[in-house]
């Protein structure tokens, strides 16, 4: 997340570009403790945001966030984070792994987390492995669900070197 320091900004009256994140409040308040964040609270809360004007494409892309990650844009690759929120306008084509995942947008691929919540606007096509799963009425889900009692099996890998070596070893087997 980039921010502009008003002391170094030569044009302080001009608003700073915030990577497609709106400063307006969330249009869908709900009981969830993981609400979409505005640009002003993103840096303070340790939330990384993939803005709605951003699309990430490529072979074997993996996005890793050590804290919270909010996906407002489109990702074609894997997403790993401590907590992941895919907003109504966001989508992921690939695996999503986190301790906690909330889906309001679209996912086409496997989801693996200790806690998974599919909100009414969610569109999910893929298998879910979890300990706790909540699916709101209206959510569209096509896949299989597997419950795991082993929390370690569900924890995301947040070490880039470990992910790279796992990808390398799977490529060597092909």
Residue range 71-111, pLDDT digits in tens: 999 999 999 999 999 999 999 999 999 999 999 999 999 99
Contacts of 153 (CB under 8 A, 6+ apart): 129
Q: Which residue has the higher pLDDT, 97 or 36?
A: 97
* Pairing status of strand 111-118 against strand 128-130: parallel
Identify the band that residue 58 occupies on the pLDDT scale cut at 50, 70 and 90.
confident
Longest pairwise C-alpha distance within the chain: 57
CA distance 51 to 90: 9
Cβ pair 155, 136 in contact under 8 A: no
Q: Which residue has the higher pLDDT, 94 or 6?
A: 94
| Cα–Cα distances in angstroms (integers) from residue 73 to residues 8, 70, 93, 130, 153, in the given order | 29, 9, 12, 25, 28
Q: What is the pLDDT of residue 171?
A: 57
85-88 own/partner pairs: CB under 8 Å, 24+ apart? 85/34, 85/36, 87/36, 88/28, 88/121
Q: What radius of gyration, in Å, describes the C-alpha atoms of the chain? A: 17
* Pairing status of strand 78-86 against strand 140-142: unpaired
Q: Which residue has the higher pLDDT, 118 or 34?
A: 118
Q: What is the pLDDT of residue 44?
A: 53
| Residue 116 reports pLDDT greater than 80 | yes
Q: Report the phi/psi class of residue 19: left, alpha or beta, with left for phi > 0 and alpha for psi in -120 to 50.
A: left
**pTM for the full model?**
0.72
CB atoms within 10 A of CB 105: 22
Identify the band that residue 162 occupies on the pLDDT scale cut at 50, 70 and 90.
confident
CA 169 to chain centre: 26
């Amino acid at each position: 997340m980039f921010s502009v320091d008003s002391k170094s900004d030569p044009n302080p009256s001009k608003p700073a570009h915030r990577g497609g994140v709106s400063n307006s409040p969330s249009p869908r308040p709900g009981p969830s403790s993981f609400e979409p964040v505005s640009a002003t609270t993103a840096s303070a809360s340790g939330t990384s945001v993939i803005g709605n004007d951003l699309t990430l494409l490529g072979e074997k892309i993996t996005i890793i966030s050590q804290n919270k990650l909010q996906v407002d844009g489109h990702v074609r690759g894997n997403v790993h984070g401590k907590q992941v929120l895919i907003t109504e306008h966001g989508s992921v084509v690939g695996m999503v792994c986190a301790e906690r995942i909330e889906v309001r947008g679209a996912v086409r691929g496997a989801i693996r987390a200790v806690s998974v919540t599919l909100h009414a606007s969610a569109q999910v096509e893929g298998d879910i492995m979890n300990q706790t799963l909540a699916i709101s009425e209206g959510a569209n889900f096509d896949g299989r669900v597997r419950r795991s009692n082993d929390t370690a099996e569900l924890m995301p890998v947040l070490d880039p070197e470990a992910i790279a070596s796992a990808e390398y070893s799977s490529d060597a087997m092909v």
